[in-house]
Amino acid sequence: MDKIIFKKISGETLSRDEQNALEQWLVADSKNRKTYFQLKMAYQSKDKDDFIQIKKELWKELSHSMRTQGQKSYRKVVLKWAASILLVGAIGSMIYYYPMRQGNQTTQESIINLTERSTIRGQKRTITLPDGTKVKLNSGSKLISPDLFESERRVKIEGEAFFEVTKSTIPFIVEAGGIEVRVLGTSFNVNTYITNKISVAVATGKVNVSANTMDLAIQKDLLPGQQVTYEYGEPVLEVSNYDVQAVLGWKDNILVFKESKFNDVIKDLNNWYGVTFIIDDEIDFDETFNATYINPVLPEVMESLAHLYSFKYEINDKQVNIRK
């Protein structure tokens, strides 16, 4: 089956028997079709960890079915999941989704394309998804989403984004690193900027956040004003209240620093304005920085920093030189 799948997704022509075998496999279980979607997103983001995680989940499902259904159903279970596991090594540039038809209707093929949209440092953009959901991407971020939503609305985010989800009975699911955010209609922020650390902050409605770690499934329901933080591999989701302006201000072009270390300030400015910094090592940066800017321009922020840390600076296009 893996050879047939690879031929299909790489654009080669299948024989009639191969085409029939592929259609039967896809029709057999919605999990097969879901696997296509998840692996495609992992491929586009070039995230090998996603492939490994999906493979683990498939084997877990196989083992569970063997224990609960007994030896008699072993052969059926193996056949059902073997192709999914083999698929991990055979990902191409298209997902083929085969919905089941009822009655005398025939199975038909519809193609679901995944689109990747991103922002460079210093850029923000708003994207409208097929269901009307609006996603605001922060600088240096990436969104992967299908051109059409079917049985679920599933997207993947890297970086930071604010979601305003159109209400529907169809779940809206955001994959972000090691977690899933599941809603029906609400607004929330997802931040994956920090390596191996993810945060989700709720603005309106109710949000469910879940993670699978160390063979333990954990989840939390969040309400407006609450934020959850997850560190990859840790068996806990930490819930706390958050400062709305500090966490969500970026989407309204508000830049907030609260007890921020100088290195963290520089990282934020690098991302916000798309500039690089050349810094004199002799400057003392022990003080923390507190400030709030509305529609800030770089010289305004640099003036504040120069006053606090007693340095001189020079802005040359996309480079900022800081000296004592």
Report the CATH number that the domain containing residue 158 is assigned in CATH: 2.60.120.1440
Question: 37-82 pLDDT, tens per residue?
Answer: 555 455 444 455 554 555 555 555 545 544 554 444 444 444 444 4
Q: Do residue 99 and residue 140 come from a single domain?
A: no
Q: What's the domain range around 272?
A: 253-323
| The predicted structure's pLDDT at residue 256 | 97
pLDDT classification of 195: cutoffs 50, 70, 90: confident
Distance CA 11, CA 25 (A): 19
In the 8-state DSSP scheme, what is residue 14?
P
The pLDDT of residue 17 is: 79
- 134 and 65: one domain? no
> What is the domain count for the chain?
3
The set of residues, in sequence order, having a beta carbon less than 8 Å from that of 16 and lying 6+ positions away, is: none
179 with 197: CB under 8 angstroms?
A: no
The DSSP call for residue 250 is: G
Q: How far is CA 20 from CA 81, 112, 128, in A?
A: 18, 19, 36
> Is it the case that residue 320 has pLDDT exceeding 60?
yes
Round to whole Å and give the CA distance between 152 and 112. Answer: 13
More confident residue, 196 or 34: 196
What average pLDDT does the segment 177-196 reach?
A: 91
- What whole-number distance in Å separates Cα of residue 107 and Cα of residue 114? 22
Q: Are residues 233 and 264 in the same domain?
A: no
Q: Are 194 and 270 in a shared domain?
A: no
In this structure, the answer to whether residues 211 and 148 fall within a common structural domain is yes
CATH assignment of the domain containing 270: 3.55.50.30
State whether 210 and 265 are in the same domain.
Answer: no
Asked which of 77, 94, 111 is the last residue of a domain, the reply is 111
Pairing of strands 172-176, 179-183: antiparallel
| Structure-block tokens of residue 142 | 């990436």
Q: Which distant-in-sequence residues (6+ apart) come within 8 Å of 104 by Cβ?
A: none
pLDDT band at 90 (very low <50, low <70, confident <90, very high): very low
pLDDT band at 139 (very low <50, low <70, confident <90, very high): very high
**Both tokens assigned to 201:** 């902050």
Q: Evaluate the CA torsion angle 41, 43, 48, 51 in order and state its sign.
A: positive
* Whole-number pLDDT of residue 282: 83
The reply to whether 238 and 264 lie within a common domain is no
Which range, 113-122, 176-185, 245-254, has the best average confidence (pLDDT)?
245-254
Question: Is 238 found in the same domain as 289?
Answer: no
Residues 208 and 263 in one domain: no
pLDDT value at residue 136? 98
Same domain, residue pair 153 and 233: yes
Q: Is the pLDDT of residue 10 over 80?
A: no
Confidence of residue 303 (pLDDT cuts 50, 70, 90): very high
SS3 314: strand
Domain boundary among 225, 246, 267: 246
When mean pLDDT is compared across 28-42, 88-102, 198-212, the lowest value belongs to 88-102
Q: Answer with the one of 246, 280, 302 that is the final residue of a domain.
A: 246
Whole-prediction pTM: 0.70
Same domain, 147 and 132: yes
CA 268 to chain centre: 20
Q: What's the pLDDT at 145?
A: 93
CA distance 274 to 209: 31
